[in-house]
Structure 1
Amino acid sequence: MLVLVVVGTLAWTQIGVMSAEPEPLETVRENTALTVTDAEEGIVLAPADGGSEVGLVFIPGAKVDPWAYAAILQGFAEDGVTVVITRPWLNLAFFDPRGLDAFTSAAPEVDVWAVGGHSLGGVRACQLAPDADALVLFASYCANDLSDSRLPVLSLAGSEDGLSTPEKIADARDLLPSDAELVEIAGASHASFGDYGPQSGDGTPTISTTEMHAEVTRLGDSFFASILS
């Protein structure tokens, strides 16, 4: 029985993984402002001219291809942030026990690190946040209490999110520091925070991919600038 449970669980983690859409991913591969490295620690997006002052370790949502986040995060790298997109064990962040330093080692020259994630990846990011300098949540919320941490936090929600709804994010607000920045992006769904296509149970987005990427970059750039000031 135990063997069947283990085999069944392993099979489930590999079935239905949501793949990165090819067109957004191609924009990353063609972006001469970046260097893209498929490293042991994860997918590393770095400014081509080097010299990052801040980094972001980003944890994918459950059963989502890590490459599906490269396009929406490339704007950060263009503007000087080194991004490390992790590859969670068994495609689920909760099965990955590695600490933050397992990923920051991809860019040892960076001194200031934020940790972030989408959906379930954001829940895991909250658990790693005490070892980081800042926290970034995409359509996610914490299950652990960070209210007394004084950690800078940027939490982005989507008005059309049918999974991590704005109401669920608001209900978990008290687990974040009082000065956490919470922003609801009009027209964004749960899947708007990655490029992997529609997701079961989600709402219908009314914001375009181009607009979504630009808005996330704008909000993120402002946040990263604030933690360096």
Structure 2
Amino acid sequence: MTARPARRILRWTAGVLGGLLVVAVAGLVIWSQTGVYAAEEGAAAAVRANAEIAVSEDSGSLTLAPVDAGSGAGLVFTPGAKVEAWAYAAKLQELVAEEGMTVVITKPWLNLAFFDPRPLDAFTAGIDGVDSWLVGGHSLGGVRACQLAENADGLVLFASYCAADLSTRDLPVLSIAGSADGLSTPEKIAEARGQLPADAVLVEIPGAAHSSFGDYGPQKGDGVPDINDAAMTTEITELISDFVSP
């Protein structure tokens, strides 16, 4: 084969591969924006109306801060795949209003935590009054939180587990599961227990489904919850409060 046909084949191959890459990226972007789980309006409105909480928001995150002096503790929380940040505000609001924590709920790129390369300090920088930061997340967001845990003071998982091995880390961990979860089932979470430190605290909330950890409606493949939103919020608040101040 002469040099000219060889170059032509290489250009053709490069063009085909480039075209396939463009199609793949475009498909991913379209998929990430389709079927996003929106926050239930009533739950989000309740947080906005809470006089004990100062709400600030930009394109990268949603921050809920106590109006009065805080406790000095903060939580950076990553949503599950294709779930809006506001969908977690109501479930986390009592940590702010009653416990004085500052909560930052991230807005992952493409609504998918895996595609968000921002470090922990991208969300904590510039926030005064917080001297210890937990990282946490729901479902896929929890997997991302495990990756951010290296620079955190503790890790909180909602219906999630770590892909990275943190078993040798000196890191406080709270893992909360739901007995009715049809996606991150208690069995799956138990199977990944070895990725966590030996003293990690694992708790299963009776009647909680995957979607019980947020306010975004039912989710395909999930179980049927047998716990109401108020009870779930109380459970989450008490578990995290005890974890922060044992």
- The TM-score, its normalising length taken from structure 1, stands at 0.96
Could you tell me which of 68, 78, 86 is aligned with 1:67?
86
Moved over 4 A (4+): none
Query: What is the aligned partner in structure 1 of residue 218 from structure 2?
Result: 198
Is structure 2 residue 73 aligned with structure 1 residue 54?
Answer: yes
State the shift of 1:108 in Å.
Answer: 3.9
Aligned-partner Cα distance in 2 for 1:50–1:20: 28
Query: What is the aligned partner in structure 2 of residue 21 from structure 1?
Result: 40
Is structure 2 residue 197 aligned with structure 1 residue 177?
Answer: yes
Aligned-partner Cα distance in 2 for 1:216–1:47: 18
Is structure 2 residue 40 aligned with structure 1 residue 4?
Answer: no
* Amino acid in the other structure paired with 1:26: A
* Amino acid in the other structure paired with 1:222: D
Could you tell me which of 135, 140, 143 is aligned with 1:120?
140
Deviates more, 1:64-73 or 1:45-54: 45-54
Q: 1:106 to 1:16 in 2, by over 3 A?
A: farther
Aligned-partner Cα distance in 2 for 1:87–1:41: 5
| Larger-Rg structure | 2
* SS of 1:163 mapped into structure 2: coil
State the shift of 1:218 in Å.
Answer: 0.9
* Contact 2:63-2:105 within 8 A present in 1 as well: yes
Query: Which ranges of structure 1 fall in alignment gaps of 5 or more residues?
Result: none
Aligned-partner Cα distance in 2 for 1:112–1:126: 17
State the shift of 1:107 in Å.
Answer: 1.2
Aligned-partner Cα distance in 1 for 2:58–2:67: 16
Aligned-partner Cα distance in 2 for 1:156–1:183: 5
State the shift of 1:18 in Å.
Answer: 0.3
Query: What is the aligned partner in structure 1 of residue 12 from structure 2?
Result: none
Deviations 1:143-196, CA, capped at 9 Å, x for gaps: 001111110111100000000000000000011111111000000000000000
* Amino acid in the other structure paired with 1:59: T
* SS of 2:245 mapped into structure 1: helix
Query: How many residues matched?
Result: 226
Q: 1:91 to 1:40 in 2, by over 3 A?
A: closer
Aligned-partner Cα distance in 2 for 1:41–1:132: 19
The two structures, once aligned, show a CA RMSD in angstroms of 1.0
Residues 201-212 of structure 1: pairs in structure 2 closer than 5 A: 201-212=221-232
* Contact 1:53-1:81 within 8 A present in 2 as well: yes
Query: What is the aligned partner in structure 1 of residue 17 from structure 2?
Result: none
Of all paired residues, the percent bearing the same amino acid is 62
State the shift of 1:52 in Å.
Answer: 3.5
State the shift of 1:24 in Å.
Answer: 1.1
Aligned-partner Cα distance in 2 for 1:6–1:47: 40
